[in-house]
Chain A
Amino acid sequence: MIEQYAQLVPLIYDALLGKASVALYDCEKYIEVKQGSVIKFPVQSGDTLTEGTGSYNSIHSGKKVVEEIDAHVLGIAYFSVAYPLIENGESIGGMVVAISSEMLHINDKLRDTAHNLASSLEQISAAIENIASSAQDLSTSGLNISQSSQNVYEKAEEMEEVVQYIDSVASDTKLLGLNASIEAARAGEIGRGFGVVASEIRSMAVSSAGSAKDIRKIIHGIRQLISKMTAEMAKLGANTQEVSASIEEIGASIESLTLTAEQLEEMAESL
């Protein structure tokens, strides 16, 4: 009698795409067990019914037994539905189907994932906005530095003018010293002391001219450094602009991604 129901097992099995397990049992043992690809019963054909299982309870209660069993039993959460088979008012056995409950939760999961995606993209969007404004700041700072270095360059120029003045004073002083020496020599013995002073003046003039030369070298060095700096700043400016352009592109991509995420969320909602 019960054996005739065995024909239904493949039907139900195929109807559930082979993912679920289907079993037929009489009052004592499992007659036929077809293991699904996702959920596998821990029993085989011929095993006796264990007390407390859905199958066992369905026979004894004569009613369907629906159980939701969490992942620690079969490694995956599943629903099991056991229906008793009743003839002449008596349970002669039953059929049980176990199907992964993941499938039931997949909508929720999809919705959550889409939502997470959307909110992550929102964060990225905000971060990119920050980066964009930092790049803008960077560009402004670069301009300021360029302006400052231009100012320093001009100051160096002014300094050079002062040095030029010192130079001309030193040159005049040397000439004065030379003429003083000539006069001292002409005065003979009386001019000897004056001659010493004149010679001191000359050596002072020579050493200040030397210092002026050193300062000029330093100024020249400063100007070269500033020129280098200006060139580097120009490079930096170009790089900053590239970064800004890239950020803009990324922003556009993120925008379209956000749109996709929103569509995904809507789809998940309507499932």
Chain B
Amino acid sequence: MLKQYIQFKLGEQSYAVEMSSVREILKPVKVLKLLGAPEFVQGVAKVRDSVITIIDLRKKFGILDTNSENEEPRIVVLECQSESIGLWVNDVVEILETDTIEKIPSLVHYGTITEIIKLEEELIPILNGPRLFTEKIAE
């Protein structure tokens, strides 16, 4: 059965998240830095009436930045349990609708990536939103 994913870029590479885990996509917002927070936590921002924490995965996984001018940085807001977490991305590419999914061993990244989308010309790892922000990963 077809499932929908949101494809985005972190550095040069494409990743995807399940669309059902995404609440919305935002333009970059003004962020309040949090004292003592790890470097990959950009800070918190007020979006409408709620406050979301914004995470920069590039800092966490050592992803090199790009110099492309065609990118439009966005924040993908994920719903993790009852919390909202904003994922800073270089660009949101498209919505993918596919069923060509492959499983990969769960020991990779403690299960942050368990599946991969197989397209004709590229492979797009699917980030597992809720798993990304478990205590183990945050360490």
Contact B95 A202 (CB under 8 A): yes
In the complex, what distance in Å separates the CA atom of A171 from the CA atom of B94? 13
Task: Indicate whether A252 reaches chain B with its CB closer than 8 angstroms.
Answer: no
Name which residue of chain A comes closest to B27, CB basis. A175
Chain B contact surface mostly:
strand
Contact B25 A199 (CB under 8 A): no
Task: Indicate whether A182 reaches chain B with its CB closer than 8 angstroms.
Answer: yes
Task: Indicate whether A179 reaches chain B with its CB closer than 8 angstroms.
Answer: yes
B19 → chain A, closest Cβ, in Å?
A: 5
Name which residue of chain B comes closest to A178, CB basis. B25
* Per-position 1/0 for A175-197, Cβ under 8 A of B: 10011011001100000000000
B110 → chain A, closest Cβ, in Å?
A: 27
Contact B95 A179 (CB under 8 A): no
In the complex, what distance in Å separates the CA atom of A181 from the CA atom of B20? 11
In the complex, what distance in Å separates the CA atom of A185 from the CA atom of B18? 11
With A178-B25, A182-B25: A171-B72 Cβ-Cβ less than 8 Å? yes
Name which residue of chain A comes closest to B18, CB basis. A185
* Per-position 1/0 for B57-87, Cβ under 8 A of A: 0000000000000001010000000000000
* Per-position 1/0 for B31-67, Cβ under 8 A of A: 0000000000000000000000000000000000000
The interface residues of chain A lying within 8 Å CB-to-CB of B22 are 182
The interface residues of chain B lying within 8 Å CB-to-CB of A178 are 6, 25, 92, 95
Task: Indicate whether B12 reaches chain A with its CB closer than 8 angstroms.
Answer: no
Tally of chain A residues near chain B (CB < 8 A) = 11
The interface residues of chain B lying within 8 Å CB-to-CB of A199 are 95
Task: Indicate whether B134 reaches chain A with its CB closer than 8 angstroms.
Answer: no
Contact B27 A185 (CB under 8 A): no
The interface residues of chain B lying within 8 Å CB-to-CB of A185 are 4, 19-20
Task: Indicate whether B24 reaches chain A with its CB closer than 8 angstroms.
Answer: yes
In the complex, what distance in Å separates the CA atom of A171 from the CA atom of B27? 10
Among A174, A178, A186, A199, which residue has the most Cβ atoms of chain B within 10 A? Answer: A178
With A199-B95, A202-B95: A182-B23 Cβ-Cβ less than 8 Å? yes
Name which residue of chain A comes closest to B72, CB basis. A171
In the complex, what distance in Å separates the CA atom of A199 from the CA atom of B4? 12
In the complex, what distance in Å separates the CA atom of A178 from the CA atom of B6? 9
Q: A residues within 8 Å of B by Cβ?
A: 171, 174-175, 178-179, 181-182, 185-186, 199, 202
- Nearest 6 pairs between A and B by C-beta? A178-B25, A179-B24, A185-B19, A181-B95, A171-B72, A182-B22
A-B contact pairs, 14 of them (CB 8 A): A171-B72, A174-B92, A178-B6, A178-B92, A178-B95, A181-B4, A181-B19, A182-B19, A182-B22, A182-B23, A185-B4, A199-B95, A202-B94, A202-B95
